[in-house]
Chain A
Amino acid sequence: MRNQSPGGPPPGSRKRPALLWLLLPYVLFLVVLPFVNRVTPTVLGLPFLFFWMLLATLLTPVSVWLARRGDRRRGHGRADAPSGGRA
């Protein structure tokens, strides 16, 4: 395990602004709802609300990917210690 000494901030616990990307699904599904709650225009035959929900579903992995990319750039998302130790 990594260093657990109580003194000093633990490694990598400072601000991680890339995590704000994780709020994107909330924006797509919820914040814009009043604007997308409509049947027309239909896209690919889908009523607009259902098309939008499909789009939001497909963009959710993208938002997590962006958050993860931010973490990896800061050397944060490395694979942790393999199993072993306490179980």
Chain B
Amino acid sequence: MVYYIIHRILIAIPVILGILLLTFFIKAAIPTDAVTALYEGQVTEGEAAEAIANIRAKYHLDKPWYQQFVIYVSDVARGDLGESIRTRQPVMDEIGYRYVNTLLLTFSALAIGVSVGVLSGVLAAYYKDTWIDVTATTFSLFGISIPAFFFGLVLILVFSVWLRWIPVIGSGWQGLILPAFCLGLIEAAPLSRIARSAMLDVLGRDYIRAARAKGMRESTVLFRHALPNALLAVVTIIGLQVGNLLGGAFIIEVIFGWHGIGELAVQAIQWRDFTITQAVILVGAGTYVLVNLIVDILYAWIDPRINLGT
């Protein structure tokens, strides 16, 4: 087990380096010279040229790219993500609390998505071809088709504007309810599909027939024998779903005014603030890799059939 964990972490290292390299090139590829843009029309040309040269030296923009990359990696390793081109504040200060907010939203949505999705998928499989199955399948088809931003607006319209149950932009946990449900319910749709097909697969297995033949109670068969095996398939894709959730969170945050890194990223792209854009993309991708690493290790721990030697 320890060997497996070390092996899995070693595999993740080149991927993280690759992410750093690609993220680094995002800045290099942005054609608008943000430094020039910053000083355009603000001072006389001579002053601007001098200021630009100073800024270039400060951000190491005058060095060759590989040296810039080494500086970038060592900065990131020390937790220094640079400072915002626009506000001149350290990016870390801006991202820190927003990152916590995004994680809070993502994992609340994950909890809602997994419970609703797995429950509806399992029920749909167990009551295959009945109205329960048809309802669950239809809702999951709707869930994968509805745009997250439209669903969010509909929720605001219904629960905040018409029913007045929840304020549109609430603070603390009140502000979390609608966005978390919005994201969670959308996420429940693909999970429900996967849970349904995994459960159908398991229910057709010989050990379920054997369990029933022994005269076990149906609830025991379902919850003790079938469900744990079906859940294994769900666990594998949860890591991948976190990627979707992070992406969905970016849109949901803007609609509900939830101050997370997604909201920040959208503003930063509009402002052409490349350090913030770069930092958000790095943090997002890093989180995704980390979550998948944890899921892989958890999976090996849950499923003894995984060959730990490899």
The yes or no verdict on A and B being binding partners is no
